[in-house]
Amino acid sequence: MQILVKKGKEEDVQGGLVVKFTAAKQGEQKFVQTSFAAQILEVGIGQAAEVTAEAIREATGIAVAFTQKLSLKMSIICDGGEHHIDRGFAIAEALLLATYVYDTYKKPKTQLGDVTLLCADARQVVRIEKGVARAAERNLGITLARNLVNAPPHDIHPEQLAQTARDIAKASKGRVKAKILERVDCEKLGMGAFLAVAQGSAYAPKFIHLTYTPTKPSKSSLAIVGKGITFDSGGLSLKPSASMATMKCDMGGAAAVLGLFSVITTLAPRYTVHGIIAAAENMPSGTAYRPGDIVRSANGKTIEVLDTDAEGRMTLADALDYATKLLPTAIVDLATLTGACIVGLGEEIAGLMCNDEALAVSLLAAAERAGEKLWEMPLEKRYRALLESDVADIRQIATSRYGGSLTAGLFLQEFVGTFPWAHLDIAGPAFAERPMSSYIGKGGTGYGVRTLVEFVQAFK
Ligand code: BES
Ligand code: ZN
Ligand code: ZN
């Protein structure tokens, strides 16, 4: 699908379907027969004063489904009064997200043809074109993340994540460097927690460190960490089959980091950005780590392993500690960390835990602008006692099964020192078992890429 922008009105359209957004209730559809060559689909986006970018994306998704069903050519009327919304951007983003398919193993039956965005006012054409271009750029990152999550777990091992990082560096004309630490390098750095998870798999772990450097030197820097478990079987604490079925999504955090880095040169932030992924596969085997093991993480703390399925926090412990050694202004991690987060917030909302008020505010605002749902949860100090171990510095999992996302967050906090840090538990929205909206279908959603892009653009 290509998105074309033209000056014109509905009467100019020769055949196909013309989509118009109206003041009707959000999502309301009306199919109108006309006297001229095209047919019209009206989709409600609400009264002018209450129109949101999300309403436009939803309406666009509805229009795509309708057009695909009838295999029609689509034109969308882009004229709209509100100035606080970039219509071209919102429509193009929804078009690109809605028409995404993972087609490596199955070709889609129908595909949307080219879509024309029409505006009556010639001056609007340029503005809409800019929005379309920005959406197309950002979509490259989202698509990369979705493809990585959707690929079957036999296609994505730690090496493939490392190769993706190398490819990003190669395409960046020197702006992004990729450093890959092998198992022996990680041993030298004392990453006992990360390596414990990796030791059950036949596929070697890779510790990935991407660095984007701005053209002018800058004092501030960000470290973005992504959970990169290419498949989570649970390890010896094996998951039941039904829960294991979607565990290729357990590198959704890593996918978001790689998605961000694939577009970072176009964002061109004026500060350094680090992307960190401790990539491993969590498998049961004769060499797998066991409940009862006590491992030492890179920051020196010993961890009492109790459930090998709580592997994400093990890998993140060493990844977060590595991040602190880069002395960043702030650390943000994204992880498909806990089923408890899905119990609490449902499938579409990610959880945020943060030790810094300003950082939390800017991430929540970025997610809001991006159209990704994020909700703050507390790093409750009293619950820290649930992680006290008799034999090690900390227990891997709490002694209570309640508040599992919060105790996981508290565990991670042990490895970030006093750095401003935010943890996004994306276990729910990283992978959609049912459509997430009219414009994001089943499978990998690319959750996090849009929020990270907005966040990186606003960060100073
Ligand atoms: N990768 C899972 C969390 C998950 C669940 C992600 C569902 C996406 C969808 C994580 O490694 C895990 O298994 N967590 C355990 C933690 C428990 C053993 C303390 C969980 O949530 O059950
Ligand atoms: Zn697990
Ligand atoms: Zn996991």
CATH number for 232 = 3.40.630.10
Residue 127: inside a domain: no
Confidence of residue 291 (pLDDT cuts 50, 70, 90): very high
283 lies in the same domain as 344? yes
- Ligand 3 centroid to 230 CA: how many Å? 9
pLDDT at 109: 84
Looking at all shown ligands, the one closest to residue 427's CA atom is 1
373 lies in the same domain as 338? yes
Over the stretch 237-256, which tens digit does the pLDDT of each residue have?
999 999 999 999 999 999 99
301 lies in the same domain as 429? yes
197 lies in the same domain as 320? yes
Across the range 45-71, mean pLDDT stands at 93
Question: Of all atoms in ligand 1, which is nearest to the CA of residue 250?
Answer: 1
Please, which residues have CB less than 5 A from ligand 2, an ion? 232, 309, 311
Residue 448: inside a domain: yes
Residue 134: inside a domain: no
Residue 284: inside a domain: yes
396 lies in the same domain as 438? yes
Q: Which of 119, 149, 170 is where one domain is finished?
A: 119
Of the residues 175, 239, 369, 384, which is catalytic?
239
Residue 131: inside a domain: no
Residue 133: inside a domain: no
Domain count, the chain: 2
Across the range 29-56, mean pLDDT stands at 88
pLDDT at 14: 85
Question: In this structure, are residues 123 and 438 in contact, taking their beta carbons and an 8 Å threshold?
Answer: no
pLDDT at 110: 81
Active site residue 87: no
157 lies in the same domain as 241? yes
Work out the mean pLDDT of the chain and round it to a whole number. 96
188 lies in the same domain as 240? yes
Residue 427: inside a domain: yes
Please, which residues have CB less than 5 A from ligand 3, an ion? 229, 232, 250, 312
Alpha carbons 298 and 430: distance in angstroms, whole number: 28
pLDDT at 79: 87
What Cα–Cα distance (Å) separates residue 317 from each residue in 65, 88, 284, 343?
43, 41, 21, 24
Ligand 1 pocket test, pick from 309, 349, 396 with the greatest ligand atom count within 8 Å of Cβ, gives 309
Of the residues 73, 206, 248, 313, which is catalytic?
313
- Ligand 2 centroid to 340 CA: how many Å? 12
Pocket (CB within 6 angstroms of ligand 1): 232, 250, 307, 309-312, 336-340, 342, 397, 404, 427
- Ligand 2 centroid to 242 CA: how many Å? 13
pLDDT at 81: 65
Residue 422: inside a domain: yes
340 lies in the same domain as 436? yes
CATH number for 50 = 3.40.220.10
Q: Which domain holds residue 304?
A: 140-458
440 lies in the same domain as 303? yes
317 lies in the same domain as 373? yes
pLDDT at 82: 67
- Asked if residue 316 has pLDDT above 80, the reply is yes
Residues of the chain with pLDDT > 70, as a percent, come to: 99
- Ligand 3 centroid to 193 CA: how many Å? 14
Alpha carbons 110 and 94: distance in angstroms, whole number: 18
Ligand 1, atom 5, residue with closest C-alpha: 339
pLDDT at 198: 99
Closest alpha carbon to 62 in 22, 6, 35: 22
Residues of the chain with pLDDT > 90, as a percent, come to: 91
Over the stretch 322-380, which tens digit does the pLDDT of each residue have?
999 999 999 999 999 999 999 999 999 999 999 999 999 999 999 999 999 999 999 99
Burial readout 186-220 (b: 16 or more C-beta within 10 A, e: otherwise): beebbbbbbbbbbbbbebebbbbbbbbbeeeeeee
- Asked if residue 229 has pLDDT above 70, the reply is yes
Question: In this structure, are residues 328 and 287 in contact, taking their beta carbons and an 8 Å threshold?
Answer: no
Ligand 1, atom 8, residue with closest C-alpha: 427
Active site residue 313: yes
Alpha carbons 427 and 111: distance in angstroms, whole number: 30
Q: Specify which of 20-34, 64-78, 148-162 reaches the highest per-range mean pLDDT.
A: 148-162
Helix (H) or strand (E) holding 177: strand 176-181
44 lies in the same domain as 105? yes
Ligand 1 pocket test, pick from 238, 338, 407 with the greatest ligand atom count within 8 Å of Cβ, gives 338
- Ligand 3 centroid to 244 CA: how many Å? 10
386 lies in the same domain as 355? yes
Alpha carbons 460 and 454: distance in angstroms, whole number: 12
Q: Which of 119, 153, 173 is where one domain is finished?
A: 119
Over the stretch 157-210, which tens digit does the pLDDT of each residue have?
999 999 999 999 999 999 999 999 999 999 999 999 999 999 999 999 999 999
Ligand 1, atom 3, residue with closest C-alpha: 338
Confidence of residue 122 (pLDDT cuts 50, 70, 90): confident
